[in-house]
């Protein structure tokens, strides 16, 4: 999927499947909600992020029940940290065969 695909996927509702073809660009905002429901059950996201990706994130349900299955990715930080987080997510998805 790559960094650009994950970055664009942060706006999940308009995104195509996770194969790297996303149709929604970033829209000038720094916190992004990444929709992982296309990749796994919403209930599995927390364990996936903590155990497989080894990341600490804000989970979507903190922003409302409709966001369960999303994670918040802060893009207003060191780009190396964003890249590391994205790479951890990609490795976790690959490990799960997604």
Q: Say how far apart CA 75 and CA 72 lie, in whole Å.
A: 9
pLDDT in tens, 32-83: 888 999 899 999 999 999 999 999 989 999 988 899 999 998 888 888 888 8
pLDDT score recorded for residue 63: 87
Whether residue 19 has pLDDT greater than 60: no
Q: Say how far apart CA 93 and CA 98 lie, in whole Å.
A: 5
On whether the CB atoms of residues 75 and 31 are closer than 8 A, the answer is yes
CATH of the domain at 61: 3.90.1150.10
pLDDT score recorded for residue 16: 43
Domain span at 84: 2-95
Domain count, the chain: 1
- State pTM to two decimals: 0.68
């Amino acid at each position: 999927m790559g960094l650009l695909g994950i970055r664009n996927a942060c706006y999940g509702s308009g995104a195509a499947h996770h194969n790297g073809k996303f149709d929604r660009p970033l829209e000038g905002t720094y916190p992004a909600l990444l929709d992982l429901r296309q990749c796994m059950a919403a209930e599995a996201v927390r364990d996936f992020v903590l155990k497989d990706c080894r990341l600490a994130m804000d989970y979507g349900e903190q922003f409302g029940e409709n966001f369960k299955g999303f994670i918040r990715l802060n893009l207003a930080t060191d780009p190396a940290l964003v890249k590391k987080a994205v790479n951890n997510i990609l490795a976790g998805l690959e490990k799960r065969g997604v």
